[in-house]
Chain A
């Protein structure tokens, strides 16, 4: 039932947003990676929309006139959508907040900015994320974003409004966490594909509606029959990005008889492991939560060990027996880091399969063979 409601909501969402826009509500897009606090956008009265679509070779090819081959396919897809003007979400934006994260995503922000069709607010993300100076820098930037949003919308962003937004998004994060944790069971009631789709839905849907959907779903999953436990290879998915539409890997794993039970993906999966503290200086709270209290992505400085330790904890908590490393072609930091993961996981006797995608249909056959073989390998270990 929740799925039907959500599908209808998402189908009608572009039209609802257009209506809202006509009545003067601003639509603010942002690039994924969980570095842009949606709370600020929401508190301004604007509607946040994550620009997270990808997985199609059409938008990648469309970007060939503005980006050379060495940009990652997700970034090329974002430039491609700008050129194609076919996606309603990308065409209705009043402003884009671009977190300055990896060199690839930074460049797409610069390209959107260069063509000048839409205002791009560059949100500096200090890559040495753990210091006091860097936190202060990020706070300054969040305050600048707050100012800019106030000017854009004409609404004052009060402490109460930020507090309300934090409460709403904390609720969403908590529900995602609870739903994710149900997958620790020996027979998870929600597949990785559905969980990832829920994440993507949450980037486009009305957040209040989404919270209701997640709440109902969690109640259902929590009460529901878990079914009999079946010994299937339980897998962790690690990678830089799962775009809305980039579901090939998830489908192939499922059809090969594997089960991705948890994901550690920087872009495309909402970071739900921690809540934002909703008291005191709320801008500082947002800065700490979004910059320092979360797991850093691979492009952040000195992140490898922290990320590896987190993955090992997920492997233990979710009883994982294999890791699928899914990276996008030309992503140099994740590619480097895959080596240290493979080395260390090998010490724990956890096999890892590394796949690189360029959103090309041509690679599906090769992926299928490799995934099938990997599932068999892990299954051998399980049995």
Chain B
């Protein structure tokens, strides 16, 4: 255990104090010594463990998981969970700044990072959900909602005082919340809007945002009632301001990776640095998170300066639709192993300008600011999303696109064929479609992916060669 914690960046002085907590957590979630041995192997296989930034991120993930599992035991009186609910995390964070008795997180993120990515031991959680109503098979229920149901069914996380979901992107999270309320007696709140416009440049955008803002204000009122503390506009701005450094540091790292050739760090780390920040809503943890990102940035910059790459210079560069896997590093690792430079994903891509600086001008109403996710590519109709993907692919100059569509997300996944035909037509680069589950590692099929990536790489190399020959 101690060497595992050391590997994950725990300082020796804190190991003594944290060891009893972490032992208790691992015992509760069924982590054995054998699992710890397996985890060390996984970490050394899939991550650059010599990088301090990576170890710092892993450390925070483990500490944040402990905070979640032990929340009730450690005196948290009010627990709020978010389920696919962008924006609500800011309100929860605001409440956490006012009271040590409030705890909030997205449990699937914490378990995805630790029980999924590190331990590779999420299958029982999914199976627990499938034994109840989110059955396995062709229906393809989203792995994210399965994690919530499975974690609650297995008693791995405390029952919350309220679970917040949202209908900005999907129906499955609100429906799951509905059933959790009816069947397990968990109070829920769903905020919503109505996605009936072409793109967020539509003249009716204000109505869509207006409905979302009203609905979010309803959430604020409900959270205030549950927790007994007021949420003021200033509290929300305070949280959003605190998050700016983190956003800026992430963007800087993302940009450095996407603009480097050779790819300086394995693409398995994309999921880590995109997601580890989301394992805690507590703004007191933000300086540690920013430090981890900045540490990694400097280490990556050093590699870039030395010309170090995890794949060869000139390797085919790809962009992936949708965010990287939340629970399993194997697909990204396979891309690295096969010499394909996976340089960026659709995570937080804003039409029409690509990645967006956190320092841009904000709306006057903090609740409007909480709706920012509605402007990201995955929340758009194909008319908004596809030009954004094409624009970004041009900007970062990729040789191919991996459209790994998360089958659980009907809204984003159902664009797959349109994306392929539009990108192929407009950019002439190959697009590989992959039926994918972003949360459930059980879908991973090494042989199939390997064969398909080989063909994909060959297509990209042939096209590069042709383009090069033409230019002579």
Contact = CB atoms under 8 A, between A and B. Distances in A.
A323 B95 CA distance: 46
B171 interface: yes
Interface residues of A, number: 50
Contacts of B132: 339
B215 interface: yes
Interface stretch (B257-265, B412-420, B441-449): B412-420
Given A141-B196, A332-B139, 5 more contacts: A70-B413, A122-B198, A137-B207, A335-B141, A336-B133
A100 B140 contact: no
A140 B135 CA distance: 39
Contacts of B407: 68, 70
A303 B182 CA distance: 10
A340 B133 contact: yes
Interface stretch (A108-116, A192-200, A205-213, A248-256): A108-116
B141 A332 contact: yes
A136 to B, nearest CB: 9
Contact of B211 (A65, A134, A340): A134
Closest 3 CB pairs of A and B: A124-B196, A339-B133, A124-B194
A110 B382 contact: yes
Nearest to B208: A124
B381 interface: yes
B417 A66 contact: yes
Contacts of A371: none
A341 to B, nearest CB: 10
A332 B167 contact: no
Given A67-B414, A106-B195, A305 B383 contact: no
B175 A299 contact: yes
A125 B194 contact: yes
Contacts of A144: 204
Given A65-B417, A113-B198, A302 B190 contact: yes
B47 interface: no
A337 interface: yes
Contact of A137 (B190, B211, B418): B211
B141 A68 contact: no
A21 interface: no
B134 interface: yes
A102 interface: yes
Given A301-B167, A336-B172, A340-B179, A70 B382 contact: no
Contacts of A378: none
A235 B365 CA distance: 53
A107 B211 contact: no
B416 A337 contact: no
Contact of A111 (B182, B214, B382, B405): B382
A140 B410 contact: no
B211 A71 contact: no
Contacts of A70: 140, 407, 410, 413-414
A104 B414 contact: yes
Given A65-B417, A103-B410, A110-B382, A301 B190 contact: yes
Contacts of B336: none
Given A103-B170, A332-B141, A336-B175, A127 B194 contact: yes
B411 A332 contact: no
B190 A128 contact: yes
A289 interface: no
A77 interface: no
A303 B177 CA distance: 11
B138 A301 contact: no
Contacts of B347: none
A335 to B, nearest CB: 5
A350 B174 CA distance: 28
Contact of B167 (A114, A127, A298, A356): A127
14 contacts: A66-B417, A67-B414, A67-B417, A106-B411, A107-B415, A113-B383, A114-B418, A141-B194, A299-B171, A329-B139, A330-B138, A333-B172, A333-B175, A338-B133
Contacts of B176: 336
A123 interface: yes
Interface string B138-179: 111110000000000000000000000001001110111011
A164 interface: no
Contacts of B472: none
Given A70-B414, A113-B381, A340-B182, A127 B211 contact: no
Interface string A170-181: 000000000000
Nearest to B194: A124
B207 A140 contact: yes
A103 B192 CA distance: 14
**Most chain A CB neighbours (cut-off 10 Å) among B191, B194, B208:** B194
A5 interface: no
A102 B182 CA distance: 21
Contacts of A303: 178
Given A106-B411, A335-B141, A340-B179, A111 B174 contact: no
A339 B179 contact: yes
Contacts of B141: 332, 335-336
A302 B178 contact: yes
B220 interface: no
Interface in A58-74: 65-71
